[in-house]
Amino acid sequence: MLHKTRGIVINYIRYRETSIITKIYTEKFGIQSYIENGVRSSKGKNRIALFQPLTLLDLVLYHDDKKEIHRISEIKSAYPFKTLPYDVYKSSIAMFLDEILNKTLKESNENQVLFDFLYHSFVFLDETEQHFENFHLIFLLKYTFFLGFSPQDANEIMTQFREANIIIPFDSDYKALMNSLIVADYQTPIPMSRGARNHLLEVIILFYQLHVEDFGDIKSLQVLREVLS
C-alpha cells in the first residue's frame, strides 16, 4: 500500500554494486529502512544527493508492517538546504547531531511531536545567520524530553551523576550556563567561552551515556570541537 509522508534521512549504507539501504525517520512510521536500487549508478548519481544525512524529504512509500526493509515509490526534497551543507560550522553541528540521532532514534511508529521538533530544528539551523554556536547544546537538552530523561535543572544532572559515581568539575558558573541552556530557545544568545561550551557538551554527553543503553563514543565529536574552537 502506498503512503505519502515526510522524512528525515539519517544515513545510508552501500548495497551491492549500485544500490543503497537508507535509514529514514518518517512522519508516519518512525524510523524505517528502505532499499533504493541504481542510485549509485551513472544514471542515478544526481539522486544520491537526496540521501545525504538530515535531508528533508517528501515521500511516497510502499509500507508493509510485516517487512523490515521497504521501498520508495516517489521522492523529492521537501526543503532544499541553503546553507547547512556549505557552512563548515553548521555542517559540523549537523554531522554530530546526525550521529546522535542514529544512536537514539528507535521508534518505528508515528510520533508527530518528535518529527516536528526534528524537522523544524534543522530548518532553523539552515536559515539562521547568527547565534547558532550553542545550537547543538540546546538541541541535545530539548531532545532529552523525547527520550524520557529531561532534566529540570543543572542540580538534577549533578545529583544523578553523584548517584552513578560520575565525577566531573561543575562549579556555579557552569551551573548557571546549563540552567540558561535548559530553558533557552535556539535564537537565545548565551555568551560563553569555547572552553565552557566544550565542557558543557562533555557534561551533556555523559548525561546521555548515563541514560541511553550502548550509547558509546561519538566519532564526530572531535571534529565538532576543532571546528567550533
Helix (H, G, I), strand (E, B) or coil at 125: helix
Question: To 10 degrees, what angle do helices 88-104 and 221-228 make?
Answer: 150
Note the pLDDT of residue 98: 98
pLDDT, tens digit (0-9, with 9 covering 90-100), for 91-132: 999 999 999 999 999 989 999 999 999 999 999 999 999 889
Structure confidence at residue 179 (pLDDT): 98
pLDDT given for residue 37 in this prediction: 86
Give residues with Cβ within 8 angstroms of 26, minimum separation 6. 5, 6, 7, 8, 32, 59, 61, 115
DSSP-assigned states of every residue in 59-75:
EEEE--TT-SEEEEEEE
Go through the chain and tell me how many residues it has.
229
pLDDT at site 21: 95
CB 6 within 8 A of CB 22: no
Closest CA to 99 of 223, 6, 195: 223
Could you give all domains of the chain from N- to C-terminal order, each with its CATH number?
2-77 (2.40.50.140), 88-228 (1.20.1440)
pLDDT one-digit tens code per residue, 167-188? 999 999 999 999 999 999 999 9
Beta-ladder partners of 16: none
What does the CA dihedral 119, 122, 128, 129 come to, rounded to 10 degrees? -160
Q: What pLDDT is recorded for position 163?
A: 96
Torsion of CA 60, 66, 69, 72, to 10 degrees: -10
Contact criterion met (CB below 8 Å) for 85 and 52 = yes
Nearest Cα to Cα of residue 83 among 54, 40, 45, 115? 54
Termini Cα distance of the chain: 49
Query: Where is 56: in which H helix or E strand?
Result: strand 56-62
Low-confidence residues of the chain, pLDDT below 70?
Answer: 42, 44-46
Q: Is the dihedral of CA 154, 158, 159, 160 positive or negative?
A: positive
The pTM score is 0.94
The cell for 105 is: 532514534
